[in-house]
Amino acid sequence: MNRSSKAASVPGRRRLSAEDRKSSILKAARLEFTDTGDMNGTTVKAIAERAGISEAVIYRHFESKEQLFYEAVVEPLRIAVDELVAAAEVVDIDEPLSPQRQLQTMNSLYRHLVSTLEEVLPLLGLVLFGDPEVARRFYRKHFAVAMDRLAEAWRDVEDRYGYEFESPEISARVVMGTALVLALEGRHNTKFSRNRTLSAVSEGTVKGFFPAIEPAQRRRAAGSRGSAAVPFSEA
């Protein structure tokens, strides 16, 4: 058997379709950008090495590193933020909001926000704390939109049921900021108690975190200050 016949008889690696190859490149790019933590500090060469291909193959599918960054990092993050926008709509329900239902609805909202944010934290950090222009554009077009949509949902509740919310735009940002910190806790604090914390935060959001204390109560509160439980960690 001559050399060419032998080579032909050895099964080669399966040739990827254009769609599969592009998906493979995006996955490698996402990992490389995340590991580097910076779009400008990541090279196409490093992405190609991670994907096991040449730089030329990458440029057949993407015009530039910037396009690759947007498709590998910004687009998945945009989809995740769209899910946050959809989650905001659970606030506007079709039945009267009893106090118990209010707490359940807020807990459900926090749970969805926290789990989604926890999943995309590496990409979120890469975009919001990376290139300033990319961060500014993404924040205005997508992240701020999610919070504005949440404020709109609360206005709908206000109109439908006669509730009165103080500054829905600010409240929406407080809720999103709280969810972001809880996502960080969930990702980095091994003692984070998710269910207990979400219950405490939901109740605090609905009823207020800092109720007014009368002068006589202040003296009693001062004596028990050291015994307060911290909800973020397991007991």
Return the pLDDT at 204.
Answer: 92
Angle at which helix 99-128 crosses helix 194-207, to 10 degrees, equals 110
Sign of the Cα torsion 121, 124, 125, 126 reads: positive
Return the pLDDT at 31.
Answer: 93
The answer to whether residues 103 and 201 belong to one domain is yes
The answer to whether residues 122 and 169 belong to one domain is yes
Q: pTM for this one?
A: 0.77
The answer to whether residues 87 and 132 belong to one domain is yes
The answer to whether residues 150 and 95 belong to one domain is yes
The answer to whether residues 115 and 48 belong to one domain is no
Q: Which of 101, 36, 110, 106 is nearest to 68 (CA)?
A: 36
Residue 46: domain span: 16-62
Question: Which pLDDT tens digits describe the chain residue by residue (235 residues)?
Answer: 443 443 343 344 467 788 889 999 999 999 999 999 888 889 999 999 999 999 999 999 999 999 999 999 999 999 988 888 887 666 555 556 677 888 888 898 899 899 999 999 999 999 999 889 999 999 999 999 989 988 888 787 676 666 666 788 898 899 999 999 999 999 999 999 999 999 999 999 888 888 776 666 555 555 555 555 556 666 5
146: CATH? 1.10.357.10
CA separation (Å) from 214 to 203, 210, 219, 221, 222? 21, 12, 9, 10, 12
The answer to whether residues 139 and 78 belong to one domain is yes
The answer to whether residues 80 and 194 belong to one domain is yes
Task: Say if residues 185 and 192 touch (Cβ distance below 8 Å).
Answer: yes
57: CATH? 1.10.10.60
The region that residue 19 occupies, defined by phi over 0 for left and psi between -120 and 50 for alpha, beta otherwise, is alpha
Domain tally for the chain? 2
Angle subtended at Cα 126 by Cα 125 and Cα 127, rounded to the nearest 5 degrees = 95
Task: Say if residues 91 and 157 touch (Cβ distance below 8 Å).
Answer: yes
The answer to whether residues 171 and 198 belong to one domain is yes
The answer to whether residues 134 and 185 belong to one domain is yes
The answer to whether residues 51 and 104 belong to one domain is no
